[in-house]
Amino acid sequence: MKTISKLLFYVAFMSLLFSCQKSDPFGEGLMGTNLKSASAGVIITVEPNGTDDTENILKAFSDAEVAGPGTTIQLIAGEYHTGAIEVYGFHGTVKGAGRDKTIMNIIPGIPVEDQLNNNQSSAWWRLIGGDITLSDMTFKTPDGSLVKDGFIDPIFGKDLYSFIIFNNYNDLYYHPGEFQKVKVARVDFYCGYDNPEDGGSWKSDHNSLLGVWVGLDYYWPAEGMDYPLTKGNFVIDDCYFEHFVDGVEGFSLGEDAKMAIQNCRLNKCSWPVFFTANYNSDITIKNNVFSNTDMVSDIGIWDHDFGYLFNTTILPLKPCRYTITGNIFNTTAAIPAIVANDYWVYLGPEERMPLQLIIENNVFNLAEGSSGVLLNNSQNAVVRNNRFTGSCTTGIAVDGFNDDNPEEVPYALNALLLGNNFSRLTSSVANVYLGEKSKECTVVGSKTDGLVIDNGVDNKVTGMTKGKPGLKLGPAIRDNFRLVRGKS
C-alpha cells in the first residue's frame, strides 16, 4: 500500500464523515465494514461471511490506511476463512473477541509459487513494516497440504513456511531504514498434520513449519540488493503454539532490534523456540512453559547465518544478548532443553562477537536421556539459580566443537555456573560436565547438588562433589536439524 499524504487523508476522511447520516456520525464503512469513533482512533468492524473473508479483511486494512495510524480492525466473534493476507506499513491494531471466540481458518491453496516468484518466503499472513498489534484470536489450519495444487517447493515440498511473517522491509516494500513495532498478544496457533513425505527434505508431519517468523523476508538474496539486518521491537506475549517445527523464530535481527517471547505455552513442537543469525541484538525468553517437545530441543540459540546474509554488512558492535529466565521445561523426550551453539567462535571471531548468554531462575523437569543446558563454544555464559529435577544424562554440559575442522576445537571459556539446585536430579553422567574444551569455568554449589566431572583446563569447582576425570560424553550434542533453504 502506498503512503497517503495528509491532504489526501483529510479529504477522504471528511468526505466519509459528511456522507453519513447525522444519527450515525460514521455510519457504514466502505465494502461493508463498520467504522466507529474511538478515543485511540477509528474502529473498523469486520464480520465473518461464512465463506471467504480474505477480501473483507484486506479491505479493512485498506480502510485503516485511509483512517490513519491508531486504527483498530475489530474482528467480532466467529469463524473466519482467509487465503493469503499481505499488508505493508500498517499502523494499528487487529483485535479479535478472544482466543476462543475469533477463529482464523486458512483456506488451503496459498499461492506459494507466486510468493517465491516475488522472492518471498511462503506465508499465510505477511505483515511488513508499520506498528502492529495482533491480539485475542486463534489461527489454525486443517490437516493436509496448504499450498496451491501443482507446486512443490524444492526444500519444503507441499508445506507452508510460516503462518505469519514480520519484517521491516522486503523486495516489494523496500524500506530498510524503517523501524517495525510488533506485539502479538493472546493469540493461539494450531498447526495441522500432513504426510511427512509432503514436507520435502524436511520430512516432517507439520503442514506449516513455523507459527511466527521474525526476520528477513526473501527466499534467497537477490543480486544487487542490499539487505540490512532487521530493525524493530517484537513482542510475543501470552500466546500458545501447538505442533510446529518452530513455534517462534528470530533470524537476522540487528543492533536496532529487540525481541521478547514471554508468558507463552509451547506444546508438541519439534523446536519450539529458535534463534540464529542475530547480531548485536537484545533477546529475552521469559516465563514460558515448554511441554512435549518431540525432536530437537526446547530452545535453540545459534549464531549461524547459513549463507543467507552474504550481502549484509554486519559490524561486531556488541555481543548478541540472550536472557532466558523464569521458564519451565517439561522435557519428556531424550533431547536437551537448551542448546547454545556459538559457531562464529571458530568461523570468524574477528567478524562476529560471541553470544552473551544469561540463563537464570528456570525450572528443568528432565526425562531419562535428556539434558538441561548444553553450552557449546560458549564464552562468558552465566547459568545461575536454576532448579533441575528428574532424570537425565547431564544437567549442564560445557564443551567445544568445530563442525568444519574437528581437529581445531575452540575452548568454551569462563562459564559461571552458580547457585543451581540439583538436589532432586539423577544424572547418568554428571550433574555438571566440563569437557576437555572447557577452560577457566567456575562452578559453585553444595554437596547436595551432586557430582561434577571436570576434564577441562583451569576450571574451579567449589562445594559440589568432584568425580573422577576422564569420562567423556563424546561429540557435543548439537541440533543439526536446520537445513539451508537455497543455495549453498
| SS3 of residue 447 by DSSP | helix
Q: SS3 letters for 82-139?
A: ECCEEEECCEEEEECCCCCCEEEEECCCECHHHHHHCCCCCEEEEEECCEEEEEEEEE
CA nearest neighbour of 362 among 308, 336, 326: 326
| HSE-CB for 475 with a 13 A CA cutoff | 8
> For residue 64, what is its C-alpha cell?
485503516
What are the b/e assignments for 137-147, b being 16+ CB within 10 Å?
A: bbbebeeebbb
Confidence band for 198, pLDDT divided at 50, 70 and 90 = confident
Cell of 249: 523464530
Nearest to 483 by CA among 120, 243, 119, 155: 155
Tell me what pLDDT residue 468 has: 81
Amino acid 341: pLDDT: 97
pLDDT band at residue 40 using 50, 70 and 90 as cut-offs: low
Query: Which residues is 413 bridged to in the sheet?
Result: 379, 439
The residues facing 105 across adjacent strands are 81, 140
DSSP track, 20-67: S-TTSSS-B-GGG-EEEEETTEEEEEE---SS--HHHHHHHHHHHHHH
**Confidence check: pLDDT of 8 > 60:** no
In 3D space, the residue among 139, 136, 138, 163 whose CA is nearest the CA of residue 72 turns out to be 136
Q: How far is CA 238 from CA 134, 180, 181, 352, in A?
A: 12, 20, 17, 33
What's the residue count for the chain?
488
333 Cβ contact list (under 8 Å, min separation 6): 292, 293, 294, 295, 367, 369, 370
Per-residue pLDDT at 452? 97
3-state class (DSSP) for residue 404: coil
Sign of CA dihedral 256, 261, 266, 270: positive
Percentage with pLDDT > 90 across the chain: 82
**Is the confidence at residue 24, as pLDDT, over 50?**
no
Q: Which SS3 state, helix, strand or coil, does residue 187 take?
A: strand
Residue 189 pLDDT: 98
* Nearest alpha-carbon partner for 238 in 191, 165, 184, 298: 184
∠ CA(36), CA(46), CA(166), 5° rounding?
105
For the stretch 73-89, pLDDT in tens is 999 999 999 999 999 99
**Share in percent of the chain as helix, strand, coil (round to 5):** 10, 45, 45
* Interstrand relation of 240-242 and 208-215 (parallel, antiparallel or unpaired): unpaired
pLDDT at site 470: 73
Whole-number Å distance between alpha carbons of 52 and 377: 51
Structure confidence at residue 400 (pLDDT): 97
Per-residue pLDDT tens digits for 407-449:
999 999 999 999 999 999 999 999 999 999 999 999 999 999 9
Task: Give pLDDT, residue 168.
Answer: 98
Q: Which residue has the higher pLDDT, 10 or 297?
A: 297
Q: Which amino acid is at 335?
A: I
Nearest to 254 by CA among 186, 180, 338, 341: 180
pLDDT, one tens digit per residue, over 273-284 is 999 999 999 999
Q: How far apart (Å, rounded) are the C-alpha atoms in residues 465 and 451? A: 5
Contact 150, 187 (CB under 8 A): no
Element containing residue 38 per DSSP (H, E): strand 34-38
pLDDT digits (tens, 9 = 90+) for 438-487: 999 999 999 999 999 999 999 999 999 998 887 777 544 444 444 444 33
Radius of gyration of the chain (CA): 24
Q: Please give the DSSP secondary-structure letter assigned to residue 484.
A: -
pLDDT of residue 201 exceeding 80? no
How far apart CA 301 and CA 324 sit, in angstroms, is: 10
Which pLDDT value is given to residue 474? 57
Asked whether the CA dihedral 392, 287, 322, 209 is positive or negative, the reply is: positive
Q: List, for residues 207-235, the tens digit of each pLDDT value.
A: 999 999 999 999 999 988 999 999 999 99
Task: Count Cβ atoms within 10 A of the Cβ of residue 75 and give its class: 0-12 exposed, 13-18 middle, 19 or more buried.
Answer: buried
pLDDT-derived band at 16, boundaries 50, 70, 90: very low
Q: Is the pLDDT of residue 248 over 90?
A: yes
Q: Is residue 32 over pLDDT 70?
A: no
- Contact indicator for 179, 231 with CB cutoff of 8 Å: yes
CA 4 to mean position of chain CA atoms: 32
Could you tell me which residue, 16 or 109, shows the higher pLDDT? 109
* pLDDT higher at 160 or 22: 160
**Stretch 298-310: mean pLDDT:** 95
Q: Answer yes or no: is pLDDT of 383 > 80.
A: yes
State residue 154's pLDDT score: 82
Distance of alpha carbon 444 from alpha carbon 454, whole angstroms: 13
Residues 28, 60: Cα–Cα separation, whole Å: 12
Beta strand 230-237 with 253-262: parallel, antiparallel or unpaired?
parallel
Beta-bridge partners for 433: 397, 453
How far separated are the first and last CA of the chain, in Å rounded? 34
Neighbour tally for 176: CB within 10 Å: 16
* Structure confidence at residue 41 as a pLDDT band (50, 70, 90): confident
As a whole number, mean pLDDT of residues 17-32 equals 32
